[in-house]
Structure 1
Amino acid sequence: MEKRIELEKRGRNPEEIDQLILDDCRSTAIVGLTDEYVGLRSLSIINVGLTSLKGFPALPSLVFLDLSENRISNSLQNLSGCTNLKSLNLSQNKLKDIESIDPLKSLERLKYLDLSNNEVTKEEGYKEYIIEYFSKTIKLLDGDAFFNGKHESANDSDEDGEDGSESEAEEEGEGDDDDDDDDDDDDDDDDDDE
């Protein structure tokens, strides 16, 4: 991870960097990322093999953090120094229970949270727990939209659209049949020309 960070820096000082993409560099721990990256706004550490966030620095400017496809099972309290974090993707990790995600409560500005494909999402009361703590800020949880802590049913509006779409599709299908008949007529005309 340290080598990858050096490559991403491209000779710049840590405080000048606003984005780091460390995807697919193998590391089980946070190494080389320090609190010197005060201007860092976007950080992607996808599919690295992280098992813990121990040593994750305080990054007060960080807004977007993607830690998906790792093996993180705990130590989320290390994200508490990311006071401006609005988008957090922890999908496809090893978070098993509500206690493991409890430290996320300190992220008061969080709007987008993805914990999908973690065992914790199967726990009874999981969504209610998240909504209780983030009701004023959460907009998207595991791909589901929320407004003022209430689930926005995207399906309701989609159903109306689907009904209309089905009718249009049926009408188009009927039109296609007519076109096929026209093609057959054209073939008959070709036979007459011979």
Structure 2
Amino acid sequence: MDMKKRVSLELRHRSPTEVQELVVDNCRASEGKIEGITEEFSNLELLSLINVGLTSVSDFPKLDKLRKLELSDNRISGGLEVLAERLVNLTNLDLSGNKFKDISTLEPLKKLPHLKSLDLFNCEVTNLADYRESIFKLLPQLTYLDGYDIEDCEASDSDGEGDGIEDEDEEEGESEDFEEEEEEDEEDVVAEDDDDDSGDDEDGEVNGDVDSEDDDEDEEDEDDDEDSSPAKGEKRKRDPEDEDDD
């Protein structure tokens, strides 16, 4: 399928201004140039043109909001001035698998102030001596080259987007806050348990006092019953009425 037809299929039921991501990988570029992608894609943020047979980027439209551009596995060997002029907010550029031989062909990328990640895998330029040091010196705005920073630390997917470090800090902060909240909850639970125990003790003391009073009353009742009944070994006195009956 050619590129122009593929772009038309991607636009089914929507206008170019509604498109933020456009992927037309593995289609055919007529005469090695871009077709079907115009400045009407004014809100485009990601464009992927992997293995489409591009030999030139001279027909690239001006896309102010484009941040990520995938051009790997094509036959581009130069002409990057166009990208520097028309994609001013580009942050991620993948040129791996193209025909770049000299570091000087990459010099126009200095005009991309927001460029943070550049990939040149499988390009002849990577075989040059001091390749990485030379690229980082040429493009000081870069954070990652071929997926690694200047200290050879590998980039995560989120780092490649330029937001990974901040996200990790936020996640760590959130986890610390969560742990502090858990500790506070545990302290509250322990405090509540202590209050419950003290309440039980108070109830026990109150109940103990009441129980002791009840016991005293029972003992007094028993004493009254003992006083009203004759002691063992004593004769029961006869009432005068009993004598009259006799």
Q: Provide TM-score, normalisation by structure 2.
A: 0.57
Partners of 2:63 and 2:138 in 1: CA distance: 22
Q: Which amino acid aligns with 1:145?
A: D
RCO greater where, 1 or 2, for CA within 8 Å and sep 6 or more?
1
Structure 2 equivalent of residue 61 of structure 1: 65
Aligned partners of 2:103 and 2:135 also within 8 Å: no
How many Å apart are 1:117 and its aligned residue?
Answer: 0.7
Deviations 1:68-107 (A, max 9, x none): 0111111111112111111110000111111221111111
Structure 2 equivalent of residue 184 of structure 1: none
Which of 17, 31, 38 is the equivalent residue of 1:34?
A: 38
Question: 2:66 matched to 1:71?
Answer: no
The structure where helix makes up a greater share of residues is 2
Alignment gaps of 5+ in structure 1: 155-194
Aligned partners of 1:108 and 1:134 also within 8 Å: no
Partners of 1:6 and 1:57 in 2: CA distance: 17
How many Å apart are 1:38 and its aligned residue?
Answer: 1.0
Identity between Structure 1 and Structure 2 (%): 46
How many Å apart are 1:53 and its aligned residue?
Answer: 0.7
Structure 1 equivalent of residue 126 of structure 2: 121
How many Å apart are 1:59 and its aligned residue?
Answer: 0.9
Which of 11, 15, 18 is the equivalent residue of 2:17?
A: 15
User: Which stretch has the larger CA shift, 77-86 or 18-27?
Assistant: 77-86
Question: 2:114 matched to 1:109?
Answer: yes
**Count, aligned residues:** 149
| 1:92 alignment partner, SS class | coil
Partners of 1:110 and 1:3 in 2: CA distance: 31
Q: Which amino acid aligns with 2:55?
A: T
How many Å apart are 1:125 and its aligned residue?
Answer: 4.0
Alignment gaps of 5+ in structure 2: 155-246
Which portions of structure 1, spanning 4 or more consecutive aligned residues, are displaced by more than 3 angstroms?
A: none
Partners of 1:133 and 1:101 in 2: CA distance: 9
Q: Which amino acid aligns with 1:44?
A: S
Which of 2, 16, 24 is the equivalent residue of 2:4?
A: 2
Question: 2:149 matched to 1:145?
Answer: yes
The structure where strand makes up a greater share of residues is 1
Partners of 2:8 and 2:153 in 1: CA distance: 45
| 1:144 alignment partner, SS class | coil
Partners of 2:62 and 2:137 in 1: CA distance: 25
